[in-house]
Amino acid sequence: MDIEVTKLDGAKSGKVSVSDAIFGLEPRQDILQRMVRYQRAKARQGTHQTQGRSDVDRTGARLYRQKGTGNARHHAASAPQFRGGGKAHGPQSRDHSHDLPKKFRALALRHAISAKVKDGTLVVLDDLAAKEPKTAALRGQFGKLGISNALMIGGAELDANFKLAAQNIPNIDVLPVQGINVYDILRRNTLVLSKAAVDALEERFK
């Protein structure tokens, strides 16, 4: 499969040949859904916690005598039914992450890239580099390319000027190729790859 390569100024820069095993798959929603669920579960802090009955600092003395009052039998004021008592079955700190095979995660990434190709929202740029860290100039170049909501993947090392210029533009994420992931690909309308990123992905999945 051949994909057209564009420069930041909008000029054509030839074509790049890519593997169908990475860019030409028929995307499966179930694979993408499982991968996104895996990523979001792994990102959860899991630090939500409430005080249970044993955690509340209240008197453990019996509220009133057991018999003769006509009321229900109660013991400690820390019981959940009382104001200030402990929470019954409340959330506790735990790890929300779950396992997903490494080969499945790699497959999901290939499906996410292929989904962008199928939708026509994959752009390959010659290089993600800027002469100066000027946000206005870079925003203008993105406007000519029709890019307003995108994940931009560079090579192993990002150009410092490009990164600084892009970080103030809303809905634009810039990552090195090592950071490419399914969730960030799907949450943005457009996937922008540099030629260096394409080469790195081809080498990674070879």
Q: What is the pLDDT of residues 89-132, one digit of tens each?
A: 999 999 999 999 999 999 999 999 999 999 999 999 999 999 99
DSSP 177: G
Write down the mean pLDDT value for the chain: 94
For 16, phi and psi rounded to 5 degrees? -125, 135
Res 29 pLDDT > 90: yes
* 72 and 158 belong to one structural domain: no
Please give the pLDDT value at position 66. 92
Alpha carbon 74 to chain centroid, angstroms: 49
* 83 and 105 belong to one structural domain: no
Q: How much is the average pLDDT of 133-156?
A: 94
| CA neighbours closer than 13 Å in the CB half-sphere of residue 20 | 2
Please give the pLDDT value at position 59. 85
Note whether 114 and 37 are within 8 A (CB).
no
Please give the pLDDT value at position 9. 86
Residue 123's SS3 state is strand
The pTM score is 0.85
Sign of torsion, CA 29 30 35 37? Answer: positive
* 130 and 66 belong to one structural domain: no
Q: Report the alpha-carbon distance of residue 41 to residue 183 in Å, rounded.
A: 12
CB neighbours of 11 closer than 8 A, spacing ≥ 6?
none
Instruction: For residue 130, give its domain range.
Output: 2-45+97-204
What percent of the chain clears pLDDT 70, i.e. is strictly above it? 100
* pLDDT 10s digits, 4-26: 999 998 888 889 999 999 999 99
Cβ burial 28-37 (10 Å sphere, 16+ → b, else e): eeebbebbbe
Domain count, the chain: 2
* pLDDT 10s digits, 156-197: 999 999 999 999 999 999 999 999 999 999 999 999 999 999
* 13 and 102 belong to one structural domain: yes
